[in-house]
């Protein structure tokens, strides 16, 4: 994970309200520092202003907006774990899946679109 996301995460933790954290770990390969004020957790949800942001390894993967839309992002980490986390937070009927190394989003109406970082879905 890049340092830019780590800085944003630290700012979000300081300015926002942590509403959930899960998956405490000691990882040498990520920036989830054990010295952070609230510990090192793979999964952290923070309310920041009017948004609810779900972080995975300190990268914001799902941002819930006040208008009931959600912004989805892998930050370049299209892994099975990232996909599982995104699917955990998006509404029922939506599903991110992989086929032949490409990611797709299945919508509740059955329509399938290519998954793109920064895509917005509406609940």
pLDDT at 38: 44
Task: Confirm if 62 and 71 have CB atoms less than 8 A apart.
Answer: yes
Instruction: Give the whole-angstrom CA distance, residue 46 versus residue 12.
Output: 7
DSSP bridge pairs for 46: 18, 53
Domain-wise residue ranges, the chain: 3-122
Q: What is the pTM of this model?
A: 0.84
- Strand arrangement, sheet containing 95-99: 95-99, 102-106, 112-114
pLDDT tens string 62-100: 999 999 999 999 999 999 999 999 999 999 999 999 999
pLDDT tens sequence across 7-34: 688 888 889 998 988 876 655 555 555 5
Q: Are the C-beta atoms of residues 51 and 80 closer than 8 Å to each other?
A: no
Please state, in angstroms and as integers, the Cα–Cα distance from residue 7 to each residue in 24, 58, 65, following that order. 19, 9, 21
pLDDT at position 13 is: 83
């Amino acid at each position: 994970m890049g340092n830019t996301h780590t800085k944003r995460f630290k700012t979000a933790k300081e300015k926002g309200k942590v509403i959930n954290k899960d998956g405490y770990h000691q990882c040498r390969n990520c920036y989830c520092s054990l010295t952070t004020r609230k510990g090192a957790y793979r999964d952290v949800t923070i309310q920041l202003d009017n948004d609810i942001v779900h972080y995975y390894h300190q990268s914001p993967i799902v941002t819930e907006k006040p208008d009931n839309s959600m912004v989805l992002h892998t930050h370049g980490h299209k892994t099975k774990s990232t996909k599982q986390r995104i699917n955990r937070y998006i509404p029922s009927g939506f599903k991110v899946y992989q086929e032949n190394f490409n990611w797709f989003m299945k919508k509740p109406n059955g329509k399938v679109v290519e998954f793109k970082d920064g895509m917005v879905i509406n609940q």
